[in-house]
Structure formats: C-alpha cells, structure tokens
Structure 1
Amino acid sequence: MLNADKPLIWGHRGCRSLAPENTLASMELAHAKGADGWELDVVLTRDGIPVLLHDLNLLRTTDAAKHETFRSNPPALPWRFTLEELKTLNAGIFPRRRCGRKDWGTDTSFGVQPIPTLEEALRRSAELGLWVNIEIKDVSNAMPGPMAKEIVLRTLDVVARLKMEESVVVSSFNLAYVAECKQHAPHILTGMLTPHAYTGDAAALAQSIKADAWHPGHKRLTQAAIAHVRNAGLAVTPYTVNDPARMVQLIEWGVSGIVTDNPQDVPDL
C-alpha cells in the first residue's frame, strides 16, 4: 500500500485548510477533495480512551477556555479529563488564518464537532474507504508515567478490534513507540517521523526500529535522500506539503505519497 504505483495523497488532520482539524467533518472533506487517506493525531483521556487531538492541551482547537469544568481545573490537558468530559467540548472552531489562506476570522459553519475517539474516526474512515495514518503523540514527558506507557497498546487495541490492521499506518516522532508497535503487532505498517532539519541516515534508523516508512519534514528533503530510502525498500511520505509546485517536484523525485493541508490543491498526477 505505501509503495503503490501512484503516490498516495494524505489529508493532514483531514482537510485542515478548509475544516477544523482532527474532526470527522475534516476527514469527510478530505475524502470529498480526493485524498486517498488522512493523518490524525492520538492522545489518551483520563480513562484511557484514544482521542483525536494534535496539541498536548485543549485550548487551541476546542472551546475549553469557555467551559467551567476546564477553566476551574487547569491546566487543560486531555489526560486530566474523562472522555465524557471531553465530549462536552466543541472541536469545530475553525480559524481561517492558516495553511497559507489570507482571509481572517473564525468560520462557525461547521457547528458543534465533538472530539472524536479513535474508534469513531476509524469506523467512519472504513465506511469511506480511506487509509489512516495514526500519529501517536509523544506524551512520554507529559503524561503521568503509567498512563504514558499505555498509549501504544491502547491504540493497537482499537485497530485490532475494528479489524483495520491492513488500512492503517502507525507513526510517531517517538521512535520507541514505533518499535513497540512492531513488537506487539509486526503485521501493522509503521512510519518513522523526523523533523525538517533531520539529515541523518534515515534508512538505517528506520531499519533499526523495523519501520516500513520514513515520514520526513519536506523543507530540507533532497532527491538523493529519497532515493537512498526508497532503494532500501522503504516508503517515503513527506509532510506538510502545501505548495503545488513542491508537490510536483517531490512526486517527480519518487516519494510514495505526500501529506498536505490542501488535498484540494494537489495537481493531477
């Protein structure tokens, strides 16, 4: 799947340029705009439920600051609250000043968008036939120790219960998480995330943790680095590529796919 003949288009947190990120509405819009799959971010609630959230707090992408439960009990960290409490929040807040857009303000047309659980997101993705890149957020230095150690197994449990092992890629900047995923579920594809500034031997590092793919920041990515990793039998899927000209260049250089906020702007391949 990762090394398909045609590069796969992954909507970053759904269709983040046009809809509130990490919501079912964003995922559905990515599908409508032609994405093959979408990337989402996972953290745990206090009761151990994987939910979709990029930041390690709730303030940017929800209305937590307006809710007494969260205002009177700071900090607004997702693992300090139960799923029932998080479901009272609206994740449908959509500031338009992002992803290269020039219009400012807040789009409220999406209404109330609850924070989805990973299970809800995967079920809807399966209905639409979308691949899913599950990025497990690195909570190793943020969450309480015992809880942080559960995030990989809790994520894998949801994937297994829904029988979606062949439709997901599990990725993380925390390479120990990637290695742990392979240890417990060697049949599930994994991706090694690295920052834009990474210049090491990505093939060797990915192979050391048995990753199937390299997900690099695209800004310093070179044709030679792509070729080196592809020749090692690994997929290369850079993020977050929003300029159509850069998309074309990376595709010509042989990437396996691209992650973009703007699936609506991908040129015809």
Structure 2
Amino acid sequence: MNPRTLPAWPYPRWIAHRGAGKLAPENTLASFRTGAGHGYRMFECDVKLSADGVPFLMHDAELQRTTNAAERLGVGQPGVSDIAGSHGWHALSQLDAGSWHSRIFAAEPLPTFEAIARFCVRNSFFLNVEIKPTPGTEYRTGEVVAQHAARHFNGVAIPPLLTSFDIPALEGALASQPELPRGLLIDALEELPWSAWLSKAQTLQCQAIVCNHTLWNADTVLQAKAAGFRTLSYTVNDTQEAARLISLGTDGVITDRVDLFSPAA
C-alpha cells in the first residue's frame, strides 16, 4: 500500500513500550496485562527467532539481563552461548523472565509471539511489533515474523504495525507479507541525512517513520508528512516532551510511563 493512500491512521496515539514500560518485566504477558490495567490499548514489543524458528519476545540479543539463563542453561560457562537466538524454543521456554524485575513476577516465562497475539486479538488490542533479529538472521526474521503476524491476526480489522531498525528485516517482511503496514525505526542521523532515510522508507513501502523523539521538529515532521508518512516517537517519558510532540502533530507516542500518561488523552 502506498503511504499516500493510507486511510485515517487507525492506531491509538499512546503506545505502551514493551508492554508496560518499567512497571513489569518487559516483553512478557505480565507486562501486557499491567499496561492494559492502566488503560492502554496498544503495545510495542520486540520479536526475534529461536534457533528452531519460533518467534518469541525479547529485546536484547543476549539472555542474561532479563532471564536466569546463567542458572538454567549455564550461560557464561565455556561453550554456552548467551545469544538468545542460538537456543531452541524448548530451552528458552524454561527460563524465568520475571525475577530480574521483582519477586512478584518470579517464574514469568518468555512468551511466544503467538501467545501475545492471542492476548491482543481476544482483547481487541493493537500491536506494534519491532522485528529484532539475531545478527545474521535479519531478512529471514522479517519474513517469518510477518508470516506469523498475518496468520495470528487473520481477519482482524487493524493488523499489527511491523517496525525495525534493520533494513533487511523490513525487506523480508515486505517480500513475505506486503499487505501488512510497516514502519522504519530511526535512532540518529549520523549514518544518513534525513532525506535519505525518507527515501529508504519509501523504497520499503513503509506507512510510518518511528523516530527517537529528539529527531522530530517542525521541519522533519513536515517533510515526513509531505512524503506520506505517519510520525511516531520513542521512548517518551517526560510530560513537556510529550506535549511538544503532540503540538507538532505527530501520530504516536511510545512510552514507559504508563502510570503517568493517560492513553485517553
């Protein structure tokens, strides 16, 4: 779909980062439930592939920050990889992804993308899926995540928005499921000028630009909108910055502070 012909933007303005920001262990079902408890109806999450091709939620390439992989799998010992995508789903499914955050979430497992999709579909929630590939699997991860998104959200009026920093991941998603909406994530302008990023997003047939919030100003918003893109920001945790972005006319705000910002605003 050409972004210029996209109908009225169907997603809520407020998007809960990794489920509920920092109030619960990120990228878990508990985090989604916590965000929903604060009234949020749209959630951002990170999805990568296990070694045997199962899409699951995790931000980091490595396991140790948010799981007990050292204890359970021996990660850190010689010959045992800390890379999440190097392990099969059976091993990953046994990990505790909640205790690192707080005791109340002890034994919270890593969720599959399918489990999160079922939760969203049953509750009529919206989803922003960041494709977060293990290095070296970018294109394949984009293909598989898009395939699963199309399957799990089949028949849903508003499909998930697929985003990534990785151009090959978005290329894989485009080739696999061109009908799903896509967004290009941009963190800084050091690698390319703004016009070149917009050109890349057009080549990828994206509907949205999702930026580090500091990159949005009157000029960049105007250019993005003139090119037919919707404009989203991450990760916005300050009330003055949120007000600035809204006053610029941007379309979406991704936040950790689900306890501070009302999604009805």
Shorter-chain TM-score bucket reads 0.7 to 0.9
Please state how far the C-alpha of 1:260 moved relative to its aligned partner.
0.6
- CA deviation string 1:2-54 (max 9, x = no partner): 95388521111011220100000111111221223111111111111011110
- 1:227 and 2:222 are equivalent in the alignment: yes
**Structure 1 equivalent of residue 3 of structure 2:** none
What residue identity is the alignment partner of 1:230?
Answer: K
Structure-1 residue corresponding to 2:194: 200
Whole-Å separation in 2 of the counterparts to 1:179 and 1:2: 23
Q: Distance in 2 between matches of 1:173 and 1:42?
A: 13
Measured against aligned partners, the alpha-carbon deviations of 1:102-131 in whole angstroms (never above 9, x if no partner) come to: xxxxx2112211101111111111122211
Specify the SS of the correspondent of 2:233: coil
The question of whether the paired residues in 1 share the 8 Å contact of 2:184 and 2:210 is answered with yes
For 2:152 and 2:11, the matched residues in 1 are separated by 27
SS in 1 for 2:14: strand
Distance 1:55 1:3 in 2: 34
- The 1-side partners of 2:209 and 2:25 are apart by 27
Select 2:56's aligned residue among 45, 51, 60.
51
Match for residue 264 of structure 1?
259
| CA distance in structure 2 between the aligned counterparts of 1:168 and 1:10, rounded to whole angstroms | 12
Q: Could you say what secondary structure the match of 1:238 adopts?
A: strand
Counterpart AA for 1:152: G
Q: Which residue of structure 2 aligns with residue 172 of structure 1?
A: 164
**Residue in structure 1 matching 2:88, options 79, 82, 99:** 82
Alignment correspondent of 1:91 = 97
Aligned AA for 1:248? A
Once the two structures are aligned, what percentage of the paired residues are identical? 27
Q: Which amino acid aligns with 2:33?
A: E
1 CA distance for matches of 2:7 and 2:99? 32
> Could you say if the C-alpha distance between residues 121 and 177 of structure 1 is closer, same or farther in structure 2, counting changes exceeding 3 Å?
same
Secondary structure of the structure 2 residue equivalent to 1:263? coil
Partner of 1:163: 153
Match of 1:37 in 2: 42
- TM-aligned CA deviation for residue 208 of structure 1: 2.0
CA-CA distance at 1:61 after TM superposition: 0.7
How far is 1:203 from its partner?
3.2
Q: Distance in 2 between matches of 1:28 and 1:197?
A: 35
Q: How many residues align?
A: 253
SS in 1 for 2:75: helix
**Which amino acid letter does the alignment assign opposite residue 18 of structure 2?**
R
Secondary structure of 1:264's partner? coil
Secondary structure of 2:35's partner? Answer: helix
- RMSD (Å) for aligned C-alpha atoms: 2.2
CA drift at 1:87? 1.0
Instruction: Name the SS of the counterpart of 2:242 in structure 1.
Output: helix
TM-score after normalising by structure 2: 0.87
Shift in CA distance, 138/68, structure 1 to aligned 2, threshold 3 Å: closer
CA–CA distance in 2 between the matches of 1:212 and 1:111? 39
More helix by share: 2
CA deviation after TM superposition for structure 1 residue 172, in Å: 0.6
The secondary structure found in structure 2 opposite 1:18 is: coil
